[in-house]
Structure formats: structure tokens, C-alpha cells
Amino acid sequence: MSGHTDSPSRANDQSAAAEPLPLMPIPSGVVFPEMVVTIVLESDEAAAAADAATSGELVLVPRIDGRYATVGTVARIEDRGTLGSGAPALTIRATHRAVIGAGVAGAGDALWVEITPVKTIATDRTPVLAKQYRDTAKALLASVGGRSNLSLPPIDDPGQLADTVAYWPDLSVDQRVELLETIDIDDRLALATRWAAEALADLEVASSIQREVADGMEKDQREAVLRRQLAAIQAELGEDETNVVAEFRARLAALEESVTTKARDAIAAEIDRLERAGEQSQEGSWIRGWLDTAFEVPFGEISEERIDLDQARSILDRDHTGLEDVKERIVEHLALRKLRLDRGVETPGAAAILTLVGPPGVGKTSLGESVAEALGRSFVRLALGGIRDEAEIRGHRRTYVGARPGRLVKALTEAGTMNPVVLLDELDKVGADYRGDPSAALLEVLDPAQNHSFRDHYLEFELDLSQVVFIATANRVDTIPGPLLDRVELIEIDGYTDDEKTVIGRRHVLPRVLRETGLADGDIEIDDEVLEAIVADWTRDAGMRTLERHLAKVARKAATRLVADPDTSPIVIDIDEVREALGRPIPREDLAGRSLAPGVATGLAVTGAGGDVLFVEATHMPGEPGLTLTGQLGDVMKESGELARSYLRSHATDLGIDNADRRFHVHFPAGAVPKDGPSAGVTMTTALVSLLTGRAVRPKVAMTGEISLHGQVLPIGGVKQKLLAAHRAGITEVILPAKNGDELEDVPTPVRDALTVHLVDNVDQVLAIALEPATPGPTAP
């Protein structure tokens, strides 16, 4: 092979005349130029080629999967002989590459082929590529170190240098054939460099893994030595593993009367496993963690229940203003427990699970705390919002690393008794995904007929939850799964009037805010008029959260002034101080302005935050008859819109409408808020009739009710919350279904006295009350 030249050409010079040589197939390897090898003549083809090589030369061609390579190696026979086993063999020296041509006739039984010797010509890039390969190969051999006898010989010829990669033991036969068939010297050097770099990367990864394994083994050996030394020290101090096992056995014996037979057997079995495994082993640490968790369960610890109905009522009145119906139902629940306790009645399933449903900030959680205080029991709050994993309730199985018991077991451990009051907060926000459905796990927990044998996946023995008092809270009923809802008794908390908010703010919220800001009772003065103004002009929610935040802002402003000038105490908070602290009041809805034009009606709805006022806007336009509904509406509300349009078309003559087959668009403002339910049926019907008759809806009238296809007004839910919302918004007249008339007794008297409630049975009555009187002139075109 030639050395470096000044020629820029990369063409292979194959101008030498082709010459025939006998072909010897190489079935299991590749021979490269400058190699000296011994070939055993095992096959007839090899023996025939050897016999035919009278000139002393033949061509060695790799044969892989029945296919001959396109390039072979011309070799010269150096010696012929017989191995110790008696097999004939040749010693040959490979000289150069040759391109295999067509087969030709020749002497003997050998296969003769025409060959074209290959001459490779270097280019300007060849020295650079040769240096890259040499550096990579040296780095590869250096990483191998003393584990291999491979070394890079001092070779100047770039083609021969590239062929040295064939000596790498991890190279496959296919790769060696590819290297042999790569005639261009630059391509061969690039190929060799790439393979050497890949091998170097593999070695570095393997070395890194070996180092990590070695470090881990050294750490394990070090820990084993330390454990043996610790065991020796503990033995000297009389604190060996035998004492740890004995301690667990003593703790189990102390619980003999408190645990069930199955639980006792399970704990005893784990203590035996700990004794066999040894405390210092990894398995022993897992067992000991399980035993510690099991013994943390307060077996046999029962809080003495003291039920005094008068005291319970006083506690509820002390902590909560208003909510008379709710407090009365809780007292009834406590009276039932007392009666069953006094008479020794233990009927499975008799105790109901109370679920407090209402908007945020109305006191659901604090009611649970008051019940716990009235019963004299420990109180634990279990937040369910956002839980999507069943293991959060039932615990993780011990097969998982880091497994822990579920939240119910943790609640018992935290309470320190087996009969605490457990508040299941945000029951309506339990989710489900591929990890399971937590609400399904709660079915057993909340069923009094089943929860006496609750099994946690981590502990793997049954726990008696029948003595636990479960109280649940939720903002909405429609998102609680049906089977779960069937196991609880709902107590609705509908929110507060402005007067109730003022009283609660004075009695409960303001003192708490002053304590949290470090102010004394005499540091600030807020009269009732200012407090009423904050409630009326800066709050719109059904609960107390907004009022508490606003009072905290006012208190912080006062505290800042007091720190700057202590002589300013007491600080009198007037309406100007409130405006400075809270900013502009919340603008009230312009009921009169919205309802000036025909086609706008005011409805009432219930959301997760309580009752609310919503407006319905209707218009019509040229186009194919139909109805478009917007405002992020649910399917039920969309069906109500279709019902309203069908009623209009079927009663157009009675309503004085010339043409009801038009293209309508009904929109509910506040489009970012999801809306659903059937109670907007009368509101949509009224808006459409108002649009087509040209009669505006009276601005101070709001309505709610479901409609039928024949115009009947059907009952709806959330009457109290809707009337409270109407009162807050300044509505003076409300239209309700007649079948909801009995629910007016639940509405606070001040609200009921401030509203004129019209009870209706059909749409005609709604329109007669809601629409302005007809004026002479044409109807809407």
C-alpha cells in the first residue's frame, strides 16, 4: 500500500489487470492484510483451493450466511503441514485487498475467480483522520489497562492503521466484513474511529457501574462490620436483639385483652420473623417498622363519652351564631346516641353518618369540632380534597418500598383513641384515576354495618371503626358518588344573611382577627354601622371568609398605625378608614339597566359558593331557525333551552307572537363559570317571550323553576340559598314553583319579609308577573 501522496484525488486506482486465483472461503472470521494466520483445511473447498494454489497465492474471502464478501484478501502460502490432531493446515501471510470478480475456469476442483488488486490513495484529510483514530484507539487501550494485552503498534500506513481496529475483541464478524469491504481510506479511518469511540463509551459506562457496585459492596461490608460491632456492644450492655424481641413480646402481652385474635396472631408472627431475621438485617428493619406502626394503634384506648344535651347546645350556641336547624339536627343526633347508650342498644347500622353540605366559610369544619367537644372525644380532621389514590385510605401493601398505613390508621394514631370524631373534609372533591377510586374505599368506612372489620392493606389485620364518629363535609351534593351519598345523612347549611354576618363578625370573627394580629380589645373601635357597611358593600359570598379577610386588612392597617404611634390607641375605624384599607366597594348589579331592553331576564342559581344571581340575554337574527346557547352550559341547561323554544313555537298564538321560527341566541354572562341544571327553564322562556313581544322584564323580579313541554313550572332545589342571593342582590320579588312553597319556612324571617314571593304553577302566571304591561305598537320584527 502506498504512503501519503500530494494528489488530491480520492479515486481508487484499480487499473491493474485482473488475474485469476483460487478462492478459499473463510466461514468464521476475516483475514486482513499483514496478518499471518494458520488455516485448518477442514472443508473440501479449502483443501481444493490449497491444492490449486501452485503459485503459492490464493484469495481468502469471508463467507457469512452463505454470501461471499465483495472484497477478499490475497495471501501467500508460507508453509504447509499437519497439526498434532492430524488435520492438514496452512500458514499464510495476507498481503493486500482485492475486489472479487467473475468466476473463471482453472485447474483442479477449486473455485477460480478474477481479482483486481486494490490500491488506496491518501488525501489531504487522511493525516487528520489517522490522528483522530490513533488518539481514540490509545484512549480505548488505556481504559482497558492491564486487563488486555492489546497495544497499538507504530504503523505509518493509514490503511494498515485503520485495519488495527479489527483486533478489538468485541467487534462482530459483520463489522469486520464491513471494514474489509471499505476500500476508501478516509471512509475506513472514519469507520474505525467511530467504532473505537463507541467501544470507549461502553467501557466508561461499564467502569462507572463497576465502581458503583464496588462502592456499594464496600458500604455493605462496612455496615456489616459496624453491625457486628454494635451487636457486640449491645451484648456487653445487655441490650442485644433478644431484649428487643422480648420488649415487643411484652408489649403484645400488655395488649392481650384489647386486640382481636387475628390481630394478635399477626403481630406475634411478625415478632417471630424479626427474631429469625435479626434486627440488624434489612428485612429486620422493615419488620421492626411494621411492628412500631402496629403498636402505635391505640388498641383498647376508649374516650369516655359524656353526652349532656344542654351542654352540647350551649357549646354549639357559643361557637356558632344562627344555623338553628343545623344545631337542632345535631342535638337530635346526640340525643339518639345517648338513648342507645343508656339502654345498651347496639344495633349495627343505626348510627347515621352526618354530612354537612354548604358553601365555603359557613362553619362546617368548626361544627365538627364542636360535636367532638360536646362528646368529650378527640377530634381529627382528614382532608380528602384531591385524593386520587385508594392507598391513601386503605394504605399501601407491604410489597412496596416505603409502604405506609392509610390515613384512617394515622388518624387513630393521632387521636390516641379508638373512638375519636373524624371529620372527612371535602367529601365531594375525592377523585379517581388509574391508581384506584378512593370513594370506593370510603364505602366500607362509612357503612356502619361494615366498618367494624376495616382492613388496612399495610397492617393486614382488621380494625374496628364502629366506635368512630364520622362527620363529613362537602360544598356540593351532585359531585358525591351515588353509593357514597346513600350511606350518609345530609344536613344543608345554606349560608348567612347580612344581619347574621354582622353578628357573627362582631362575636367571633373580629375577636379572632384581633388575637391573630396582636391587638387588644381596646386598641381599635368598630361600630355596628361600619361593620354593616363592610358586610353590605364589600362581601357577596354566602360564608364568612371574605369578611374575615377584610377585617384582617383593617386590623393590619390599625396595627401599623399603633406601632408607629402607640399614643393613638384606641383607633376608631370609620368608613373612610375602611375605604382606605379595602379599596372600592364591590359594585352592585345594575338590575334596572340590564332589564331596560326586552330579552333580558334575571334568574337564580346555586353554585359551590352558595346562591347567586344570573342574567339571561336573548336575541334573534336572520338565518336558519334554531337555538344557540352560550355561557359554558351543561347538557341539562341546554335541554331546558330547547324546551323553552319548543314551548314558544307551540304557544305562539296564545302569546301574541307572529313568527316563532327564527334563529335565536341565548347567552348567560360570566362565561368562565360552568352552569348546569334545569332551574333556568322559566328564565329562558321569559327572556325569549320578552324579546318577541317587546315587553321588558321588570328589573326587580328574579325567577327560578323548571318547565315542562306543556308549560308547567316544576319544583327545584336550593330555595333558601337562592332567596338569600336575591336578597343580597337587591331583588324585591321572586317567582318560585308553587310546589316549593313549603320550603319558605326555612328562609330567615328578615329575608322572607323583605321579599315578595310569587308561587306559580305555569308559565302564563310567570309571564303575567315578570313582564311589563303591554304597550300599543307592533311586536318584535
**Which residue numbers are catalytic?**
679, 722
Please say whether the beta carbons of 48 and 90 come within 8 A.
no
Q: Which three cell numbers stand for residue 65?
A: 450466511
Other CB atoms within 10 A of residue 215 CB: 10
Is 730 in a helix, a strand, or coil?
Answer: coil
Q: Which three cell numbers stand for residue 601?
A: 331576564
Alpha-carbon distance 286 to 295, whole Å? 14
137, 362, 470, 719 from 493: Cα distances, Å? 80, 7, 18, 12
Alpha-carbon distance 339 to 359, whole Å? 32
User: Which residues have a Cβ under 8 Å from the Cβ of 120 and sit 6 or more positions away?
Assistant: 1, 2, 12, 159, 183, 184, 185
Other CB atoms within 10 A of residue 692 CB: 25
Q: Which three cell numbers stand for residue 252?
A: 403484645
Q: Which three cell numbers stand for residue 456?
A: 388496612
Q: Cell 483475514 sits at which residue?
A: 31
Radius of gyration of the chain (CA): 45
Alpha-carbon distance 562 to 565, whole Å? 5
**Amino acid, single-letter form, for residue 124:** D
Please say whether the beta carbons of 115 and 61 come within 8 A.
no
Please say whether the beta carbons of 760 and 674 come within 8 A.
no
DSSP-derived secondary structure for 16-72:
SPPEEEEEEEESS----TT-EEEEE--SHHHHHHHHH-TTSEEEEEEEETTEE-SEE
Question: What is the maximum alpha-carbon separation in the chain?
Answer: 129
Alpha-carbon distance 747 to 650, whole Å? 37
Q: Which three cell numbers stand for residue 291?
A: 411492628
Of 719, 763, 715, 708, nearest to 737 by C-alpha is 715
Other CB atoms within 10 A of residue 431 CB: 14
Please say whether the beta carbons of 115 and 59 come within 8 A.
yes
Of 473, 202, 485, nearest to 359 by C-alpha is 473
Other CB atoms within 10 A of residue 732 CB: 15
Alpha-carbon distance 343 to 336, whole Å? 11
Alpha-carbon distance 127 to 133, whole Å? 10
Q: Which three cell numbers stand for residue 371?
A: 360535636
Please say whether the beta carbons of 713 and 763 come within 8 A.
yes
Looking at the chain, how many residues does it have? 781
CA 548 to chain centre: 32
Say if residue 22 is preceded by a cis peptide, omega within 30 of 0.
Answer: no
What is the helix (H) or strand (E) element at residue 581, kind and residue range? helix 575-582
Alpha-carbon distance 170 to 172, whole Å? 6
Q: Which three cell numbers stand for residue 714?
A: 316544576
- For 677: left if phi > 0, alpha if psi spans -120 to 50, otherwise beta; the answer is left
